[in-house]
Structure 1
Amino acid sequence: MFFTPQQFIDIIEYLIKNNQFSPKCQVNLVKNVSLYEIESINYIKDLMLNFNFTSQAICIFLSKMQTRLDFNYLDKLTEKYREFPTVLFLAGSLHLYKINEPNSLYKYGHECENNPPHFNYSRNEMFLFGIVISLVAVLIYIMYKYSSTSAPMIVNLSGDVSGNVSGPLSGLASGPLSVNMSISHNTFVILLSILVIYMLFTTLKSLYDMHSVQSIQKYLMDKDLDEDVVEYIVEELDSINYFHRSE
């Protein structure tokens, strides 16, 4: 269902008035592009300062508003939500805010965005890559062996059907039932190829995303940040799809 910006504003006002603007509602609403139209953008910006949003909702807001927030506004926003490290990280990462401030989350966020850290893959990651490649090799071998024959795959389903049925279908309702289904080897190879490509793509993407998370985590740990702070930042970045925003 499509809502206009004004309708979204009315919904938010209603939820706030009735104490129903829960964290889940906040996250779902700030994801909606209608709130970032000209008619409603000033409202949502003011609301971020006047209402206590969750860290995740603020992070989504910062992600949606990339480079469109002036530093005066960011001064107020980061002052209000300064206890949330991910907010400071994204202010530097996505809005170039205070990126020259030494040893700050603003600077670390900017560095991760513009010069993402890259590290060698661990043994576990290399092992997982090996499993994927091995599975693909086995499936390719199966496809090759099967495609070497031109005989179709035939599946026979047979059985007896009995019962009392009247009308024109009565003659079909009893006696032996036999169904032959055949799949040509070309069709089978095509279907299996699609499955292999899909498995390879999704698995490698998952491994890449996992490596990206670990790379950022190691980068922040090397900055002598508290382990709990690093874990908090990484989990929240992952929750807003920071590591695969190009999708």
Structure 2
Amino acid sequence: MAIKKKSKAGNYLVIVLMIVGGIAVSIPFIWMISSSFKPESEVLAIPPTIFPENPTLDNYINLFTNMNFTVYLRNTLIIVFFSFIGLLFNAMAGYGFAKYEFKGREKVFYLVLATMMIPGQVTMIPVYLLLNEMGLTNTMTGIILPGLAVAFSIFLFRQFMTTIPNDLIEAARLDGAGEFYIFFKLVMPIAKPIFAVQGILTFIAGWNSFLWPLIIANDESLYTLSVGLSLLQGQYANNFALQMAGAAFMVVPIIIIFSFFQKYIVEGFTMSGIK
């Protein structure tokens, strides 16, 4: 009985600590969202208020009427869309490494893995010079193209697809199914967990794209939401309510998507490591 009481007390303590920690972590996000609905004068009020006394949507309206956030949002959604097309290419590459036998397969795969060890900042200058020679700097194509192939994504797809039985694929081939039919109708439904986790990671990466668009583009009409938020912080450094609105618009969609699909992230990573 004493052991059970100690166990229950320990569980209650863990729950209390988790609740306190969750509240502490949530306070900055609550403050950010709350401040985005406050007038500028209320954000700096002393004593501060957690919830707005005079809620307003003016900050969000200003973002899309005076700050070109409509353009930034359009560019970001374009990048996200093509990132998902790149995700499909990465899945095909992972499937090829997992299920096709060809000369030099392992060496090429190890070469792909080796690129994961190189920081992205190191390759930015060579990639920029290549795109400049192709005339793709300051274009949406130049922003999108380098992100279509992702070594980490290929690695995860390959690891997951090695778990698919070869007999299943061979049976489909014996029934006369083509390679594209097998991939889209057989492999993709089985690989839903890894597609889910990679879809979430792809969305987050595309939505938060900042450094590369800032480097490759010098035209404001090609900037993304992250770049626009950086400009907002520079041009309206004293307007904290407007900055909170921009930050909330960037962060809230990611929080919503992550909260709904976080179980797929754990499941996808777990199943990718099984052989």
User: Higher helix fraction: Structure 1 or Structure 2?
Assistant: 2
TM-score w.r.t. the length of structure 1 is 0.26
Q: If each structure's strand is expressed as a fraction of its own residues, which one has the higher value?
A: 1
Q: Which is greater in Rg?
A: 1
Higher relative contact order (CA 8 A, sep 6+): 2
